Structure 1
Amino acid sequence: MSSDLEKPTETVSEIHSYDGETVKDNDSYDGAFAFVKKNQLAGAENLSESNQKRVVKKLDWHILPVLCAIYFLQFLDKSLLNYAAAMGIKKNLVGNEFANLSTIFYAAYIFGEPFVAYLLQKFPLSKILGLFIVLWGIVVACHAACKTYASLMVVRTLLGIFESSSAVSLIIISGMYYTKPQQAARMGIWSVMAGSATIVGGLLSFAFQHVHTTRFLSWQILFLFMGIITSLFGVFVAFYLPDNVTSAKFLNDDEKLVILENIRSNQTGTKSKKFKKEQIKELLFHDKLTWPYFLLTITSQIVTGAIGTFSVTITLSFGFDSYQSALLQLPVGALIIIIILTATQLVARYGHITYIMASMFVPTVIGCIVLLSTNVATHKVGNLLAMYLLYSGSSCITLIYAWISANTAGTSKKFFRSAMTMIAFSIACIIGPQLFQANSYPGYRPAKITLLVTQVACIPITFLVGYIAKRENKLRDSETEVELPENFEFLDMTDIQNKNFRYTY
């Protein structure tokens, strides 16, 4: 970046002053720094392509299923409110109270995000994440005891705070273990759990609508069931998931070094325990990508907030009954899986994330136009198919995860950029449900117009982010090359401090 933005916490000469054997403050540096300095590879064959593939495959078997399960549960648990709409939870709610339950969840998510990001960096990541999963599972189960609007507002608030740990953790963990192209592919895999959760949620809603007891309503049993499962899984995460590459018990020292050599090219390191205020200052005031990313996330995800809470309600407005509306969520899950896998695998293989992301908004724009131009009462199948198209733009959040992970270095900066992304996502998810006001039922025309405008706006914003990244690379290419110390990739330098860093676009 340009010289007026260069505010590194340490100069290159200061970094050179370290003797390579001892470090003044180990917590200031990446957790892998001392390990890389201390250990040597057993042989050059360990860095062979075949061996790297073997170790990455081993990671995929041990780490990736856990990430998938975490994302699956967090998406399903927060979406249970949507499915409960077809199961009778709205009977005691009036006006916009149902929409407010979604709003308070994301308001709490925003409130909790900075504190959660700090705790996840400062303390062992897996233990804190496991604790939060247990807590949100308990809160999900507590939904079953709620009989009033006020009590539902309380549990939705607590759920938002505890679930704010999930996406940030998964973005950071993916960056710890995988190269940038590998991150895009793996983020695509764990992100499709949103689609899987949508399918399972629809099936659970349909199944539990047939469960009747004298003591509990069907939606109460559903919340209790999922809450117990989530809490038990949180305990598993706390004890099984490693805190860093160097603490992974399923890897021997040579395999750990292979992983660290594999991710060295990222120049984003793994994780430092020391919270650095100067990296937050850099993120907020000196990084040209920060606010365009923030704007892109809000604008693109308003549609997610809308359909995430109101997809069943919208489907009901087309003329389908409650059973049909629950089952019609199954194609949504399959569609989300197809879109996310296609987009992330294309990025992993070919790059060009700017063009691929921009293209994802086109189907959503078409869907909005169809919804605005057709009659709800007479074209229910056409409206349903148009609503399915909205999930294309919604699914771009996975590429945003991959983009910010690839373009951010420095532990505190990574955690808080991820947190800012989730804050922007939450703001969008607050705006989305509020578009569907009770007085605009069943057409919800103002909401559909807003979705059309925001999705159209996402296309130039995406190209703006890509242009900024490309321009910064050109500026660095034109500058004199800076010599950096050995293993600088693990010195917890930010992308602005490290002049060898190049942005993905």
Structure 2
Amino acid sequence: MKAIEKEVARNQKSGTSSPTQPSDIEIGSVAYLEEPLKDGDEALRFLKNQHDVGEMTADDEKRLVRKIDWMIMPLMWGCYCLQYLDKTLVKKYLGTAVVLWGLVTALTCVCKNYGALVATRILLGCFESAVAPSLILITSMWYKKKEQPLRTGIWYLGVGIGTIIGSLISFGFQHLHNPTFTSWQIMFLVVGLITVAMGVSVLGIENTQFKWHQVTECLSDPQTWMLSLITISSNVPNGAVSSYQATLIRGFGFNPKTTALLQLPSGAVSIISILSATYLAGRFDQRGLNVVTLLVPGAIGGALMAFLPGESKAGKLIGNYLTNCIGASLPLLYSWVSANVAGHTKKVTMNAILLMSFCLGNIIGPLTFRQVDAPDFVPAKITIIVTCVVAAGLAMTLRAYYTWENRRRDRAADAGGHVVDEEFLDLTDRENKTFRYRL
């Protein structure tokens, strides 16, 4: 908000005028709000207090977006990178929550038995659960719908970079040998302290009034459960691959140190797929199609691992790398929620459901790797194929639903006036009849 206030002040000093050409304004009847609504967004209160904010030119807007990028994107990326790094080292609220999860990660180094390790992982999951929902809200608050996919992809790059950093850390610490303080203990201590440092500087979000009717609407909205099912089905293979990637690569016949290094390309595939998919989604405003294009190579990768003969190590390794495209669908789902779920409380509720769906998929995924199927785990690899196909079908179904709903609203559109600042009234996507869903 401070960045916006500075930009407004700059416009006032420069005397930026209001638009005077017919092409600069939307022609139509207007209904004004006499009093600010108590349930409105903070942005509405800011605009009500600024009687002459002027008009921003395209160059002004680009300059403002760049300022916002440099202020919040590094912090969001750092949060997600450290969150993923802390999990992958053991194979698996902002601010305070980040500090607490860093402390728990550091304390993992003193664990001496399975019970202590389980306790730290449970606490770690509790504290990390705030990260993704908070970052989704921050992204939706600061960026336009077309700007959100790429920004979501940027902070979600923490997954790919976390994979690379985690692999290098694992490889490096395997060369340390100390009977009193082992390499894995030092590893968790270092990563935990870095996370604490990040938590001290991380930003938070401002809550608005909690509205129970928006919770009810979210639970009765078809898109809620479609998005939930897509997230579950796409994260079954994601959970399986992220948890058992080292096991799969080692099963191809490589030693532990080589296995750690061979996980580096997985991070590169993740980075490339995330950047490509989120850029294209924002450029062409197509999230659903990009989700499908990421699931296709994932299914192909599962097929290569499942059906290639045992001596085809290179082919199986390529298949393993292709499955890392699947995880890139998650930032697109995050972006879909940011764009298509309106109303602060409804969005918070949807984010919670999406997180639970993500967790459920990642719980189911590792369970498909049964010891009786070792060392090839063919049924688990077939599950990757099936769940990718199911998720792709659900994504296309949801896209068709959005298309139908948009056309229905177009047909029912009222020819009357509209309310100024309607976008700031904290209406849900169902309450706001001018709302149109992004495909």
TM-score norm. by structure 2 comes to 0.90
2:32 and 2:419 in contact (8 A); partners too? no
Q: How far did residue 17 of structure 1 move?
A: 10
Query: Once the two structures are superposed, what CA deviation does each residue of 1:75-96 show, in whole Å capped at 9, x if it has no partner?
Result: 11111112xxxxxxxxxxxxxx
Counterparts of 2:104 and 2:368 in 1: how far apart (Å)? 27
Task: Report whether the alignment pairs 1:421 with 2:354.
Answer: yes
Aligned to 2:134: 169
Whether 1:315 aligns to 2:249 is yes
**Which letter does structure 2 place at the counterpart of 1:357?**
V
Q: How far off is 1:218 after superposition? A: 0.9
The residue aligned with 2:15 is none
In structure 1, distance between residues paired with 2:226 and 2:57: 39
Write the deviation string for residues 26-83 of structure 1: whole angstroms up to 9, x where unpaired: 3x32122211111134433xx100000001001111111111111111111111112x
Within the alignment, does 1:502 sit opposite 2:414 as a pair?
no
Partner deviation per Cα, 1:119-168 (whole Å, 9 max, x = no partner): xxxxxxxxx41000011011111111112111111111111111000000
1:339–1:392 Cα contact (<8 Å) kept: yes
| Residue 348, structure 1, aligned to residue 348, structure 2 | no
In the TM superposition, what are the counterparts of 1:95-494 in structure 2 within 5 Å? 102=92, 128-237=93-202, 241=203, 243=205, 272-285=207-220, 287-376=221-310, 378-481=311-414, 483-494=417-428
Q: Give, in whole Å, the separation in 1 of the partners of 2:266 and 2:397.
A: 30
Q: Please say if 1:35 is aligned against 2:46.
A: yes
- Which residue of the partner structure matches residue 34 of structure 2? 19
1:4 corresponds in structure 2 to none
Task: Give secondary structure in 2 for the equivalent of 1:468.
Answer: helix
Residue 34 of structure 2 aligns to a residue in which SS? coil
Q: Secondary structure at the match of 1:339?
A: helix
- Secondary structure of the 1:81 match is coil
More relative contact order, 1 or 2 (CA 8 Å, 6+ apart): 1
SS at match of 1:310: helix
Match of 2:9 in 1: none
Indicate if the aligned counterparts of 1:288 and 1:468 stay in contact, CA closer than 8 A.
no
After superposition, the C-alpha distances for 1:288-345 in whole angstroms (9 at most, x for unaligned) are 2111111001011111110111101111111111001111111111111100101111
Unaligned ranges ≥5, structure 1: 1-15, 83-101, 103-127, 245-271
Residue pair 1:297, 1:400 contacting (<8 A) in 2 also = yes
Alpha-carbon distance between aligned partners in 2 of 1:213 and 1:154, rounded to the nearest angstrom: 25
2:173 and 2:302 map into 1 onto residues whose CA distance is 32
Distance 2:243 2:118 in 1: 15
The offset of 1:243, in angstroms, is 3.7
Distance 2:85 2:437 in 1: 34
Residues 188 and 344 of structure 1 are in contact (CA less than 8 Å); yes or no, is this contact kept in structure 2? yes
- Local SS of the residue matching 2:210: coil
For 2:41, give the aligned amino acid.
Answer: D
Task: Tell me which amino acid in the other structure corresponds to 1:491.
Answer: L
* Higher deviation after alignment, 466-475 or 142-151: 142-151
Offset at residue 371 of structure 1 (A): 1.3
Residue type of the partner of 1:360? L
**Residue identity matched to 1:279:** Q
SS at 1:275's partner residue?
A: coil
- Whole-angstrom distance in 2 between the partners of 1:242 and 1:153: 29
2: distance between equivalents of 1:363 and 1:17? 51
One-letter code of the match for 2:79? Answer: I
Q: State the Cα RMSD in Å.
A: 1.5
Stretches of structure 2 that go unaligned for 5 or more consecutive residues are 1-30
**Alignment partner of 1:436: what SS?**
coil
Shift of 1:374: 1.7
Aligned-partner Cα distance in 2 for 1:223–1:292: 38
**Equivalent residue letter for 2:65:** V
Distance in 1 of aligned mates of 2:42 and 2:231:
30
Distance of 2:83 and 2:289 partners within structure 1: 29
1:232–1:443 Cα change, 3 Å: same
Counterpart position of 1:256: none
**Match status 1:59 vs 2:68:** yes
SS of the residue aligned with 1:274?
coil
Q: Quick check: 2:134–2:205 contact (8 Å CA) kept in 1?
A: no
Q: Distance in 2 between matches of 1:318 and 1:471?
A: 47
Partners of 2:183 and 2:313 in 1: CA distance: 28
Please report how far the alpha carbon of residue 410 of structure 1 lies from its aligned counterpart in structure 2 after TM superposition: 0.4
Indicate conservation of the 8 Å contact 1:181/1:348, yes or no. yes
Contact 1:133 1:163 in 2 (8 A): yes
Q: How has the CA–CA distance of structure 1 residues 350 and 34 changed in structure 2, closer, same or farther, with 3 Å as cutoff?
A: same
CA deviations over 1:329-367 (Å, ceiling 9, x no partner): 111111111001011111111122222221211111111
Tell me the amino acid that sits aligned with residue 175 of structure 1.
Answer: S
Given that residues 140 and 148 in structure 2 are in contact (C-alpha distance below 8 angstroms), is that contact kept between their aligned partners in structure 1? yes
- 2:32–2:420 contact (8 Å) kept in structure 1: no
The one-letter code of the counterpart of 2:34 is: D
Tell me how far 1:375 sits from its aligned partner.
2.9
What is the identity, as a one-letter code, of the residue corresponding to 2:382?
A: I
Cα deviation, 1:217-261, whole Å, max 9, x if unaligned, reads 111110111111111211111xxx3645xxxxxxxxxxxxxxxxx
CA contact (8 A) 1:336 1:392 kept: yes
Instruction: Report if aligned partners of 1:411, 1:492 keep a CA contact under 8 Å in 2.
Output: yes
Q: Percent identity?
A: 39
Letter matched to residue 297 of structure 2 = P
Contact 1:67-1:190 within 8 A present in 2 as well? yes
Q: Find the aligned partners of 1:484 and 1:147 in 2 and give their Cα distance.
A: 65
Q: Distance in 2 between matches of 1:40 and 1:316?
A: 65
SS of the equivalent of 1:129 reads coil
Q: Which residue of structure 1 aligns with residue 84 of structure 2?
A: 75
- CA contact under 8 A between 2:234 and 2:391: conserved in structure 1? yes
- Structure 1 SS opposite 2:306: helix
